[in-house]
Structure 1
């Protein structure tokens, strides 16, 4: 059972609230591996942002984590090919119910032994 299926079973979401997998482009197999911390502002809490981010990151084979902040923003750390990280940030802005008004990003040092992407609480 996928993470999304588990979350739908746990939380009462509207019937039309379906995770839609975007058409994934062909990614550059030689893109550099980076680690990037992002802060998302806008309508990003209470709309399934963490769960959609985790599902999409797993589909893209990215590692890292995502969590809500007390100030209404969402913090995410993505690690993987740079083109996939650029893609996930654009794809999240096109999701239903999510309205990103600003993204702040900075590069971090890569963690070689990280293997999963997960929501944090």
Structure 2
């Protein structure tokens, strides 16, 4: 895993009342961040549910998922909605997840908490 100062970390999150014990999360008030994963070309699909945690401030975020540098998905993460993602990663070496606040500045006392719930790779 490679990432910037605001990398995704394992941790629980809740989207629209559904608790995701197995999740990747990040909270911050910066313009953008990313995390990259080396998949080693041995996976076929990546699935997840993406949204902002129910306790989070409601500053929309855009999540872009790239596979070997090519856009595979773009999701608008907001509170109260879990957006499903199902991506073909067959033969992909590097998976990059980028995230940025799309509502300008945010509340530094209660930054948005991005939740990527139950991220799964399937062979």
Short-chain TM bin: 0.3 to 0.5
After TM superposition, the score normalised by the length of structure 2 is 0.37
> Which structure shows the bigger proportion of residues in strand conformation?
2
What TM-score, normalized by structure 1, do the two folds share?
0.37
| Structure with greater helix percent | 1
